[in-house]
Structures are given as structure tokens and as C-alpha cells.
Amino acid sequence: MKLKKVLQIGAPLAFSTGTAVVSAILYQYAFKRADVPAQPPRITADSPYYVGDQWYQQVAKEKWQLNPSDPEQQIQGFYIPAKDPDSKKAVIISHGYKGEARNMAGSAKLFWDDGYHVLMPDNRSHGGSAGKYINFGLLDRLDYLDWINKMIARLGPDCEIVLYGISMGGATVMMVSGEELPSQVKAIIEDCGYSSVTEELTYQMRVQFHLPKWPFLPVVSGINRITLGISLNDSVSSISQLHKNTRPIFFIHGAEDTYVPTYMCIDCFNATDAPKDMWIVPHATHASSYATDPGEYTRRVQRFLAKYVPAEKERD
């Protein structure tokens, strides 16, 4: 066989093989769950999250579950009753990428101090929940419908529910926003969530690995379809779901965020016609808006909720 013929056959084969290998490595890197450390990282007393973490370790909580009879689909969450058992305010909090419920202790305490019952799930393939591969909120959004219904069953049909999430959790609650939500869901707060999984992965491939979207992302999407049963097209994304959203939503994002770039927040804000507000936090990097100015963060969250949660009272 002449060299030209060998190259004509071999070059595409080598390209296809190389693409498949690189895509498989990318998939494992981005989607494989992180092992839960035997000992969580210690938060020092000078951290803005220290008080919340200490509170979380000591406060009474209940372990809730979805799919308790199926070990491969079992999902856990931690429910913390409000100080006032008659409170009708509740928040469901979604954590970030490769995090877990405990990482949201500071946010949970913010709401708990304000009289809310708090539910903090470990999303699929995170913390103590089952799963081998992370779905970036594409499937988690459906679990949150079940968490909402469990909260209503616990507190009664007159409860008032807020959805709150940071980073991947922010994207998750945005994706939940486009589902058919019960009337008890009054408002949503998302902090530094991405506009779509494909947009975020494309950005990360370019920034971290200097790789283009094509041909790698379509192969990664195909692997995900085989592994988790859902492709990475934008038929389900923060943007597409926000087009259907009717709930008031508060968008928060760090002005110096280079992990989920700030333009994604603006794109998400523009995607919904529901009542909305946006705060681009000066000097804040990714998922650090609260740490950058805890007092102002708390005031803005409470001021927003006072408009849309009937049981909430405006704070001075």
C-alpha cells in the first residue's frame, strides 16, 4: 500500500481515536464524583464561614431521603427546623460542584436566623448521595421537585418556599425554575450559576486546557448520554428554563468571577420576564460574594424576599 493511501486511511483514524481518548479523559475529569473526605477541611476562626460551620455541626437536624429503597438512586438531605415551629417560611439550598450540604452552612444559617426551616440536599453523586457521575443540575432539577413536595408535606399547604443555590447549585435552581412548580414556591435566589452546561464546559476547556468545543464536546455529550441518559445540548439549561420561569428571581454574581464568567449572569437575567433583580458584587470572585460583604449580602437577600414572600418582613 502506498504511503499516500496509508495516510488517507490512517490520519482520520488517528484523529478519531485521539478525539475519543481526549474526550474520555475530559469526561472523567469533569463528571466523575469526588470522594467524600474522611475528615472535612477545617474552617478557621478568621473565615467568614466559621460561625455558620460551627452552627451547622451543633444544630439539630433530620436526615431526609429520596428513593430510600434503591441504593443506586438514594439521595439524602438534611432538614433543620426553624426556631419557631409554627413558621411557614422554608428554603431549599443547592450546593456547588463537587461540594455537599455542609458547604452551604453559612447560607443556611442566614436563612435560619431569619426564621426559615432549611433543607440542604446532597445532590446526586455528591456527599452521601448515590451516583458515580455528576449531572451538573440537568437531572438534579427533577429531584428538587420531590424535595419541594416533601417540604409541603411537612409544613402544610400554606408554607412559603424559597429556592437558593450557589454555582452549580445556582444553575440547578435556575433549571428548576422552568418546571411546573407548586404555588408554595415564592422566589428563587441564584448566586454565580452558569447559563448552560455546554457554555460552562466550553469555557473551561478553552481556559484550562486550550481545547476547542469541537470535536470534543459532542463526544463528551455522547458519553454522558450513554452514562446518565441525557445529552449536553441546551434543550435543558439555565437559559432555556428561565424562558419559562414565572417566579421572582434574584441574580447574584461576583464582578471578578473567572470560573463562571460574569457575562453568564447577565445572559440569565435577560432570559426571564419574571420579576427580577441583579447584584454584581464588586471585587468578588467565584462563589465569594457573601464572603466579600456578608452584611450587604444579607440585607439584599432579605430585602428581595420581603417583596415576594408574604411571611417575610422587611428588615431595617
Is the model's pLDDT at 301 over the cut of 50?
Answer: yes
With respect to residue 28, please indicate whether it lies within any of the assigned structural domains: no
Which conformational region is residue 42 in: left (phi greater than 0), alpha (psi within -120 to 50 degrees), or beta?
A: beta
Residues comprising the chain, all counted: 316
Tens digits of residue pLDDT in 181-231: 999 999 999 999 999 999 999 999 999 999 999 999 999 999 999 999 999
**Residue 126 is part of a domain; what is its CATH number?**
3.40.50.1820
**Integer CA distances (angstroms), 150 to 34, 115, 146, 157, 233, in order:** 27, 19, 6, 11, 30
With respect to residue 85, please indicate whether it lies within any of the assigned structural domains: yes
Owner of C-alpha cell 443555590:
165
Q: Which helix (H) or strand (E) holds 63?
A: strand 62-66
Rounded CA gap, 118 and 52, in Å? 13
Name beta bridge partners: 165: 94, 190
Tens digits of residue pLDDT in 271-295: 999 999 999 999 999 999 999 999 9
With respect to residue 95, please indicate whether it lies within any of the assigned structural domains: yes
Please state the domain count of the chain. 1
Give the structural domain span for 265: 60-196+237-308
Q: What percent of the chain has pLDDT over 70?
A: 92
With respect to residue 5, please indicate whether it lies within any of the assigned structural domains: no
Q: Which amino acid is at 116?
A: Y
Q: What's the pTM? A: 0.93
Going by pLDDT thresholds of 50, 70 and 90, the confidence category of residue 312 is: confident
- The count of C-alpha atoms lying within 13 angstroms of the C-alpha of 70, restricted to the half-sphere facing its C-beta, is 7
